[in-house]
Every structure is written in structure tokens, then in C-alpha cells.
């Protein structure tokens, strides 16, 4: 069984985001980037677990991005991926990104495509389901447990108010979230091995974007904390009604 894991680069949640070009782009200078946690902690680690249990034979990684994304994909290789592919294009439009990945996946014929349920930058959660549609494969989102036997996957997923268990034949695209696997960190052996593992770069197939980002806007600055004396409950009630908008 061959597994393809989608890896995306996102800003670290602790980094300070700066805008440029009249607020139409993110300034990458000084921004710290990481592997999208849902891709790393859950999709990739579950793929590695399936390989370690001899269920899968190959774990390939794929990302859409320019050369500055290579440190992130190298870290994914250090965790245990067999080889990686970087599609040399900006990853802005979700459909375009999904189309790039799907076109490559068709040439290999993967049984299982794993991705995180969403990326923590745009939080769209749309690339995985688009890949499935473009591959004419089944899709399962919000997976919390994946078990594989032969050519069948049994997947538990969160639904509103409970949990659902699905049984699906390969090929399938599954979007993973917390519960699928336990996070791990690369060891020195993995880091050294990642330097020699294949990281191929390919030119993307022609694909038109269907969305355009007009501008970004920073969130408003947080207001200071207002202290109320415990002896002045009337003021507290007034503030809850007028400022906290509690009715």
C-alpha cells in the first residue's frame, strides 16, 4: 500500500505576522514557519505507524510551494517519510493547490492520501475534499482513528453530537485530526537520514486559480483589563451590560 501525505507550510502561532504591498501579502521576512500541525502530528504520524506495522510499504510526502518551503518538507522527511516532492508553485488558491497534488497523485496511483483536517493559517479545510473529487475517490473528514486491513479502511470520525464509523475501499482521501496518532519529534538519526532522502522538484501542471486574495487585515488590538472593586457590584453589572454585551 502506498500512502501520500500532504504537507503544508504555515506561520508558527507564536510568530508576529507583518503585511506588505499595501496589505495584499504576508511579509515572510522575520516570520517563522512550521509544518501545519494537523499534517505533521496526525496525518504524517499515522502514515508512519501504518508503515511500521507493515500495513504500508511507502510513505511519500508532497507540498506545494517555492524553495523556501524545503526546510519544512525536510523536517517531515526526518520524521520518517521515504521521499518527498515539492511542486514548484505558490500555494494560495485551494483549488489550484488541490489540482497540483491530484495531477501528480494520478501518475503514481496511491491507495491512501492523508492530510490534516485544515491548515492553521487559512483554516479552510477544503484542499483534502477537492483532492478526493479530482481523483474520483471517496473522502472522509475529521478522522480520529484509522485502521487498515487489506484494501479496506475503517475510520472513526467526529460528527455533531457523537462519533461515526465508516468502512471504505481504497483509494480514499482522509483528513485527520486529534486522536489519529500521537505526536513525535525527529531523532538525530532521522535528521541525518533526511539529508540524503530524495526531494524532487517538479513544475506544476497548468491550472487556473478560482479565488484571489484582495487584502489582509490585522485583528484589532486587545483592550486592557478593567478592574472592578469587589465592593462595587453595581459597576460590575453595568459594565457587563454596556461593554461585555451580556444581557
Judge whether 83 and 196 are in contact, CB under 8 Å. no
Cβ contacts of residue 65 below 8 Å, gap of 6+? 9, 86, 87, 89, 90, 91
Grid coordinates representing 88 are 514548484
Contact 111, 3 (CB under 8 A): yes
Structure confidence at residue 31 (pLDDT): 87
pLDDT grade for 246, boundaries at 50, 70 and 90: very low
Mean pLDDT of 11-30: 88
Q: Is 165 helix (H, G, I), strand (E, B) or coil?
A: strand
Above 50 in pLDDT, residue 247? no
pLDDT, residue 245, reads 59
Angle CA(42)–CA(18)–CA(72) in degrees, nearest 5? 30
Determine what percent of the chain is predicted with pLDDT higher than 70: 99
Domains of the chain: 2-219 (3.40.50.620)
Contact by Cβ (8 Å): 42, 177: yes
| Residues 111-146 pLDDT 10s | 999 999 999 998 889 999 999 999 999 999 999 999
pTM: 0.86
Count of Cβ atoms closer than 10 Å to residue 37 Cβ:
15
Cell readout for 146 is 484509522
Give the mean model confidence (pLDDT) for residues 6-14: 93
C-alpha distance from residue 100 to each of 17, 59, 62, 66, 204 (Å): 27, 19, 10, 13, 6
Q: Does residue 175 have a pLDDT over 60?
A: yes
pLDDT at 52: 94
Q: What is the pLDDT of residues 49-101, one digit of tens each?
A: 999 999 999 999 999 999 999 999 999 999 999 999 999 998 889 999 999 99
Helix residue ranges, H only, 62-195: 70-79, 94-108, 127-135, 188-194
The answer on pLDDT for 153 being more than 50 is yes
Amino acid at each position: 500500500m502506498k500512502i501520500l501525505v500532504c504537507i503544508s507550510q504555515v506561520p508558527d502561532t507564536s510568530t508576529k505576522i507583518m503585511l506588505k504591498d499595501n496589505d495584499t501579502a504576508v511579509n515572510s521576512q522575520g516570520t517563522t514557519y512550521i509544518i501545519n500541525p494537523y499534517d505533521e502530528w496526525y496525518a504524517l504520524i499515522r502514515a508512519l505507524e501504518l508503515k511500521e506495522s507493515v500495513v504500508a510499504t511507502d510513505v511519500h510526502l508532497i507540498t506545494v510551494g517555492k524553495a523556501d518551503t524545503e526546510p519544512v518538507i525536510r523536517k517531515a522527511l526526518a520524521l520518517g517519510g521515504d521521499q518527498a516532492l515539492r511542486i514548484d508553485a505558490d500555494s494560495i488558491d485551494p483549488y489550484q493547490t488541490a489540482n497540483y497534488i491530484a495531477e501528480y497523485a494520478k501518475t503514481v496511483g496511491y491507495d491512501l492520501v492523508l492530510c490534516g483536517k485544515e491548515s492553521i493559517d487559512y483554516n479552510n479545510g477544503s484542499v483534502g475534499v477537492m483532492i478526493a473529487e479530482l481523483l474520483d475517490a471517496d473522502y472522509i473528514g475529521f478522522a480520529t482513528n484509522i485502521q487498515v486491513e487489506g484494501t479496506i479502511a475503517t475510520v472513526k470520525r467526529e460528527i455533531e453530537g457523537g462519533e461515526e464509523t465508516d468502512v471504505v475501499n481504497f483509494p480514499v482521501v482522509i483528513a485527520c485530526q486529534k486522536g489519529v496518532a500521537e505526536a513525535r519529534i525527529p531523532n538525530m538519526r532521522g535528521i541525518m537520514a533526511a539529508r540524503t532522502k530524495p526531494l524532487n522538484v517538479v513544475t506544476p501542471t497548468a491550472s487556473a486559480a478560482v479565488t484571489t486574495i484582495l487584502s489582509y487585515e490585522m485583528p484589532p488590538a486587545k483592550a486592557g483589563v478593567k478592574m472592578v472593586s469587589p465592593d462595587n457590584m453595581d459597576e460590575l453589572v453595568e459594565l457587563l451590560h454596556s461593554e461585555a454585551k451580556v444581557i
